[in-house]
Amino acid sequence: MCGILAVLGCSDDSQAKRVRVLELSRRLRHRGPDWSGLYQNGDNYLAHQRLAVIDPASGDQPLYNEDKTIVVTVNGEIYNHEELRKRLKNHKFRTGSDCDVIAHLYEEYGVDFVDMLDGIFSFVLLDTRDNSFMVARDAVGVTSLYIGWGLDGSVWISSEMKGLNDDCEHFEAFPPGHFYSSKLGGFKQWYNPPWFNESVPSTPYEPLAIRRAFENAVIKRLMTDVPFGVLLSGGLDSSLVASITARHLAGTKAAKQWGHQLHSFCVGLEGSPDLKAGKEVADYLGTVHHEFHFTVQDGIDAIEDVIYHVETYDVTTIRASTPMFLMSRKIKSLGVKMVLSGEGSDEIFGGYLYFHKAPNKKEFHQETCRKIKALHKYDCLRANKSTSAFGLEARVPFLDKEFINTAMSLDPECKMIKPEEGRIEKWVLRRAFDDEERPYLPKHILYRQKEQFSDGVGYSWIDGLKAHAAQNVNDKMMSNAAHIFPHNTPNTKEAYYYRMIFERFFPQNSARLTVPGGATVACSTAKAVEWDASWSNNMDPSGRAAIGVHLSAYEGSTVALPMPPPLKAIDDMPMMRGQGVVIQT
């Protein structure tokens, strides 16, 4: 991931302003340590901090059209750039960068080209012919982006809040799936798929369609000119990503450059569930596996850095971001610049344990819609900023546009969790990859119960955070919390502790408004809390708060749900192209 910063239509084109823009852009250098660029045209500034993943030699930014009248600074990856280049036969490209197509698409189609892009992106485009500009963010907000306004009427754009919070009168998260046009004078939604209106779909479940769509999503993300790997916790989602990558790596350009053996990475406390499961999957797939251990104290010591980089005070995001933050630093030290990760599956398929309590398929489907729409505030934020803190790029195949459309068109009845029928959470995904002839994963991994990242790295991690917060936040502070923090008032000492740190880094009211709030249990939305009256007494984002569902639920809860027996494989399901992985024993 790169870092972009733009100041558009400011009243100051002095050298001092240029120096200030450079200073603010340096706050984003962790995102793009490979090169820096700054373009100025009158009262418009476009700055870029580059992480070179595609065409490292010539893809420096800003990027231009043929006569340099259109200028682009972009953070992202355009997976269909080769196909788009073929459609732009009359255009000459300056670089081999996948993002080089953006300026030319604008020339050809105007502002309505954004939906043609298949990838993740945030970009600012300046048309110097009429001094107009447009800004766009990808469909569900995998890349982070903020917009702000100065007192002089200027518009500010930044990959992270820290690039503009000190210089804007007001700022906010740039909405995913939208673009902003100076000609239109505001935002326009460009991403509006059928599932967005939350009406219940009716497409029958076809396992092979799910399998094919997800394999395609993974394969297109193997586009890279630098060393890469996969994050492998041993859970269903990361294990499927690793398995598919291992099968298809051999025929890729990446394999020719960096070798045919996949590298995998896992983090956890000593003896944690993820470390054990991750190693088992890695051994099964034959990856070069890297285990990173951390202690509770290591994590606590990193909390301030995590909050500064991830820019949130949301409890579950900080819990999960800290291990990922520590792991990203280790991964980058090995020379790896890109990783594939498993975010998004739980939102699409209703994988969180509280979905066991969904009363009907309509409620189930609408909750998945709400969860996907909110991803940019939670898991996308975590995955993007925890890795970008060390110049590492995370790609998330479950959030591929085409795959989301395929999965969200299914009749939600097939996603419903029915233990009495052997259907656990994410059953439709598990069954799609249950292949007897050439197994993607061992059965017990394919049907392993959901662990949230903050739980899977070791249960004592969350318990240690709570204990540390209790030492730093007393009862008197909590009794006045509503007066000190009237917006999103923290209701636990852990939440109060994170909020104090956040406010020190980001004291503006606009900053605190970027963070979501509301009741939650096991990562539910506030609406889903209504599904079970008992949850109101145990409002915690950990999966163990799903009383009566999680096999390691909080002490005092009743667990009545056994793991269902493995399902039979799908008969006569053809394999996708590529080589299987054979491990000799």
Positions at the binding site for L-glutamine: 98
Tokens of 165: 């919070």
DSSP 174: P
Based on the residue annotation, tell me whether 2 is a catalytic residue of this protein. Answer: yes
359: preceding bond cis by omega (within 30 degrees) = no
Other beta carbons within 10 Å of 560: 8
467: part of which helix (H) or strand (E)?
helix 459-472
Other beta carbons within 10 Å of 203: 13
The answer to whether 306 touches 322, Cβ cutoff 8 Å, is yes
Q: What angle do CA 100, 105, 109 make, to 5 degrees?
A: 170
SS (H, E, C) 271-318: CCHHHHHHHHHHHHHCCEEEEEECCHHHHHHHHHHHHHHHCCCCHHHH
Report the alpha-carbon distance of residue 367 to residue 140 in Å, rounded: 16
Residue with tokens 């605190």: 512
Report the alpha-carbon distance of residue 69 to residue 484 in Å, rounded: 50
2, 99, 168, 369: the catalytic one is 2
Report the alpha-carbon distance of residue 33 to residue 53 in Å, rounded: 12
Q: Is 505 helix (H, G, I), strand (E, B) or coil?
A: helix
Residue with tokens 């294990």: 239
Q: How far are the Cα atoms of 80, 254, 290, 574 from residue 338, in angstroms, in the given order? A: 18, 12, 15, 31
Other beta carbons within 10 Å of 500: 18
The answer to whether 28 touches 160, Cβ cutoff 8 Å, is yes
Residue with tokens 């502002």: 111
Which is nearest to 65 in space by CA: 109, 16, 105? 105
Q: Is the dihedral of CA 102, 104, 105, 111 positive or negative?
A: positive
With 0-12 / 13-18 / 19 or more C-beta atoms within 10 angstroms meaning exposed / middle / buried, residue 37 is middle
Tokens of 287: 């990856």
Which is nearest to 463 in space by CA: 389, 382, 357, 552? 552
Backbone angles phi, psi at 247, to 5 degrees: -70, -35
Report the alpha-carbon distance of residue 201 to residue 365 in Å, rounded: 9
Tokens of 161: 């809040």
DSSP 423: B
Binding residues for ATP: 231, 267, 341-342
* Count of residues making up the chain: 585
Q: How far are the Cα atoms of 4, 67, 494, 532 from residue 491, in angstroms, in the given order? A: 35, 57, 9, 20
Q: Reading across the β-sheet that carries 146-149, which strands appear in turn?
A: 35-41, 44-50, 3-8, 155-158, 146-149, 170-173
What positions carry a catalytic annotation? 2
